[in-house]
Structure 1
Amino acid sequence: MQTHTAKRVEIVIEAPLESRLTSALTEAGVTGFTILPVLGGSGRSGHWSREGQLGRAGMVNVICIIAPERLDSLLEAAFAVVEPHIGVVSITDCQVLRAERF
């Protein structure tokens, strides 16, 4: 079966910023993404969990799979939202079927 190279971008950000991030991604031409709740983790500030946060809004993980030539516009849009806040952006290469969907 034929596979095609794509980019998988994962953005972990504070849940209250979810709509701002997804609006920015949509304006940048991203046509699809998946949003998952993040239950907890560990980072520069140590361990944390959703239950331990004020308001318990927590974090979300926004996952996008896109064509490589669209990566720069996605990153510019995402970074404008993430940069002044808590968040992590990661990029990995992946293989997809049906490249026309991305």
Structure 2
Amino acid sequence: MHSKKRIEILLEAPAQKRLTDLLDRLDVTGYTVLPVIGGRGHHGVWSRDGLPSAAGAMVSVAIIVAEEKLDEVLEPVFELVRRHIGIVTISDVMVIRGERF
């Protein structure tokens, strides 16, 4: 088992491409993008049901990186996210194939 860091970014869907392009430029070895169907936040309950476009939708992007690469990825990611509706969380994870991250 290998200790790594997991960065999860909840972000407005229209900013997804800017985020994934940034991750590619940062040589992040991989990420997963999932649609977020709803939730509750600072402004109350929301849902993507009935939205006419992706303008009000959210996505979740998960990344796993080595601890020594955390700041290199996190700082530019946060600069992008802070201009949008979104949150960034970091957690400790264990992976079996550490060489992939």
User: 1:85-96, aligned counterparts within 5 Å?
Assistant: 85-96=84-95
Which amino acid in the other structure matches residue 38 of structure 2?
Answer: G
Corresponding residue for residue 40 of structure 2 = 42
Q: Measure, in 2, the Cα distance between the counterparts of 1:86 and 1:23.
A: 18
Identity percentage of aligned residues = 51
**RMSD, aligned CA:** 1.3
* Residue deviations 1:2-54 (CA, integer Å, cap 9, x gap): x0100011000000100000111111121200000000011101100002545
How many aligned positions are there?
100
* Residue deviations 1:60-82 (CA, integer Å, cap 9, x gap): 00000111111001111211210
Corresponding residue for residue 60 of structure 1 = 59
Secondary structure (helix, strand or coil) at the match of 1:51 reads coil
Which amino acid in the other structure matches residue 95 of structure 1?
Answer: M
Corresponding residue for residue 97 of structure 1 = 96
TM-score, structure 2 length as denominator?
Answer: 0.92
- Structure 1 unpaired stretches of 5+: none
- Structure 2 unpaired stretches of 5+: none
Corresponding residue for residue 20 of structure 1 = 18
